[in-house]
Amino acid sequence: MTQIPQDLKYTEDHEWVRAEADGSVVIGVTDHAQQQLGELVYVELPDAGRKVARGDALAVVESTKAASDVYAPLAGVIVQVNPALAGQPELVNTDPYGEGWLVRLQPDDAAGLAALKDSAAYTRLLAAEG
C-alpha cells in the first residue's frame, strides 16, 4: 500500500512538497514513484544556489530499471540538497518522506504551494492511473 502523508502537497509527476516554518519547502519523490522506479542506484542533485522555474528538471534519479527526471513543483532557488544521497541513494526507497528528501527550495511565490494537490487529490490521481 502506497503511503500518502496528509500534511504534504503533491504533483501529477509524483513529487511531494513540505512547507517549512522558515518559508522554504522540502521536495522529494513520493512512495508511489519510488515503487515504480525500483531500487535507486544514483541520484543527481542540482547545485545549491541554482534558480529553477516551475516544471524545470530539478534532479535525476537512476534505478536498476531507468533514469527519471524529477521536476520542480515551484519556481525558486535551491538552498540545500540532501548530502546523504550521494552515498546512499537507496534512502529515497526506504524513507521517501524522511531521510530520502532531495532538495530544499526557497520559493519565489509561496502562493504556488496552494495550487498543488492535497493528499485526497493525489489519492484520486493514483486511483485514476490504475
Phi, psi of 40, rounded to the nearest 5 degrees: -80, 140
Grid cell 504551494 in the structure block, residue: 113
* Cα-trace Rg, the chain: 14
Model pLDDT, residue 25: 97
For residue 100, the model assigns a pLDDT of: 98
Instruction: Please tell me whether residue 34 adopts helix, strand or coil conformation.
Output: helix
> Yes or no: is domain 17-117 CATH 3.40.50.720?
no
Look up the pTM and report it: 0.96
Mean pLDDT (10-residue bins), the chain, 130 residues: 93 96 97 95 97 96 93 97 97 97 95 94 94
Domain chopping of the chain, boundaries: 17-117
d(CA 56, CA 34): 20
* pLDDT at position 9: 98
Give the helix/strand (H/E) hosting 51. strand 51-52
Contact in structure between 3 and 31 (CB atoms under 8 Å): yes
Looking at residue 37, its pLDDT comes to 93
